[in-house]
Structure 1
């Protein structure tokens, strides 16, 4: 029986936290990374790790997995070519692989503004366009999905307190990466988050309370 959760982008900040959370909970996890040094670090921690470049094929990583988290990104220091290849094309391939491998839950980490990339005047508009089409491809795939669209990511320690309604104050459209990771963990464990798109921001309510109120 397939019981593992594949984390695509486990070498990134959010992905690494998700891997740690699942490990602490003793939930089977597979970490997909492209950097051999990061792979070795994870292996030393007892994490099952798959080394693959998202610009190539990576279907082998889906073996024995029934859930997938796509939290990979091209990064702010790369050009728009990598944004296209990773944030759009690799995400699309991940959806196709998920269909072929009967994945039961696909959690996509997207971005605020992906619903309408014209909504904000932003230097990252190409990234939001890529996320827009990746999200729509997942929506049309027939897979059980949860799409998360966090506000601006910050490196402050997470509080476990969030909101999923958009604040009126632009400066409040932020959330710690650690809290995004905790929301991912919650979504993986709760069936009622399937079929939903959530915007994520720092707030005043505990994660479980927020989603129970939304149910």
Structure 2
């Protein structure tokens, strides 16, 4: 499967790109914001494209043409204001959905946020972020694309455990960024995850076993 990673320079994105680059069954194209990021990836023999999520749908469509699946991991980051959150995490995400449909890509995987579907549980200090994720998720669910929405808990940079909990078993907790990456790749061709949204934290089951429970 030819997979495009949007937000490939982020911490989760880097894990996903490197794992896919080592894969015998998938190929990867990294979509990044800056030319220097693309050059660094190309120096490691990774196909990379520069594209702006604040640009046009047509330009984004050109960047992802030829892929079989999109994984959206992009975000405005913790140092920007609510305006950039809306432009990147919401409108940027929706533009990539429109671009995917435009070029005939059906498989679309979204990284959202734990509990983004439950307004009553939102962190007040991050409310604009949760609003963006909530409505991006809802628009993806209504898009007609073959989606999976992954809602990870608190992200940590500890080594992968290879053990997760999903859905109703995923009580509020943390998950390593590397385990998020492993899970995203595991969902690509896993029919149990098609047209599904689920919370994700570190747990007691292997990724394969946990996804079977969905």
Q: TM-score, normalised by structure 1?
A: 0.93
Say whether the 8 Å CA contact 1:117–1:125 is kept in structure 2.
no
SS in 1 for 2:159: coil
Contact 2:30 2:46 in 1 (8 A): yes
SS of corresponding position for 2:53: coil
CA distance in structure 1 between the partners assigned to 2:112 and 2:48 by the alignment: 23
Cα distance in 1, alignment partners of residues 103 and 38 from structure 2:
23
**Which residue matches 1:200?**
200
Contact kept in structure 1, 2:112 and 2:151, CA below 8 Å: yes
1:143 aligns with 2:138: no
SS in 2 for 1:125: helix
Q: Distance in 2 between matches of 1:148 and 1:121?
A: 18
Q: Which residue of 2 aligns with 1:31?
A: 30
Correspondences of 1:42-57 after superposition (within 5 Å): 42-57=41-56
Report how many aligned residue pairs link the two structures: 209
The match for 1:41 is 40
Q: Any conservation in 1 of the 2:115–2:199 contact (CA below 8 Å)?
A: no
- Structure 2 Cα separation of the partners of residues 121 and 99 of structure 1: 33
Unaligned runs of 5+ in 2: none
* Distance of aligned partners of 1:179 and 1:50 in 2 relative to their CA distance in 1, 3 Å threshold: same
User: What secondary structure sits across from 1:30 in the alignment?
Assistant: strand
Give the corresponding residue for 1:90: 92
1:131-158 Cα deviation digits (max 9, x unpaired): 1110011000111000000111111111
CA RMSD of aligned residues (A): 1.3
Of 189-198 and 60-69, more deviation after overlay is shown by 189-198
Q: Name the CA shift for 1:51/1:121 in 2 (closer, same or farther; >3 Å).
A: closer
Residue in 1 that maps onto 2:187: 187
Unaligned runs of 5+ residues in structure 1 are none
Q: CA deviation at 1:198?
A: 1.2
